[in-house]
Amino acid sequence: MVSQPIGTAPVASTAPVPSRGVSTDNAQGSNAHGGGGGDDGDVVVVGDPVTVTDEVVARFADAVSAPTGQIPVTLAAALTAPVQRAVMEHPALRIDLSRTLHTAQSSEHHRPIRVGDVLTATATVTGVRSARGGRMIGFDTVLRDAAGEPVQTLTSALLTEEVQL
């Protein structure tokens, strides 16, 4: 497995996403890579594996003023940011970030992140529906270890203005 520094570009796979009626399986409930249920509207972005090193932890802990010797639980947000960004920039979703409101964020911690972990983030769009003159887009980002077990699941929702092509 190849490790990668935080912030390198993930790979996206999709079929076209209509403005309404998109539904995909929850990444947590499907295969080890968080693949959806095969709907034509699936948007799944898989990042490259990242090795959690002492240096990665120390840099992040310093940036967020966390106590020395502890791995901040918020490290997962930094490790998943590239795939979350790739979802938001995916052309099939037509998201204009200047006209988007991040309406919800939650996280489920399955186990602590450890130095030596090789983690892969997968973001899966869980739904797109019309809402208040725009669209509500939900997606789950699952951070998995080398065995494919979930370490942390982040759930996000965006309200975005409809973008015309």
The whole-angstrom separation of Cα 42 and Cα 132 is 23
Going along the chain from its start, the domains and CATH numbers come out as 11-161 (3.10.129.10)
Could you tell me the CA-to-CA distances from 63 to 53, 54, 67, 82, 156 in Å, in that order? 16, 14, 11, 18, 23
Alpha helices (runs of H) in 21-74, residue ranges in sequence order: 54-63
pLDDT of the residue at 165: 61
**Strands, E, within the chain: which ranges?**
11-14, 22-23, 43-46, 50-51, 100-109, 118-131, 134-144, 150-161
Low-confidence ranges of the chain (pLDDT < 70): 1-41, 164-165
pLDDT at 41: 53
pLDDT at 79: 94
Instruction: State the chain's mean pLDDT as an integer.
Output: 78
**pLDDT value for 34:** 33
pTM above 0.75, yes or no: no
Distance (Å) of CA 61 to CA 10, 82, 145, 150 = 24, 19, 21, 22
Contact 72, 43 (CB under 8 A): no
- pLDDT reported for residue 18: 29
pLDDT of residue 157: 94
Partners of 154 in beta bridges: 107, 141
Closest to 106 (Cα-Cα) out of 79, 60, 141, 78: 141
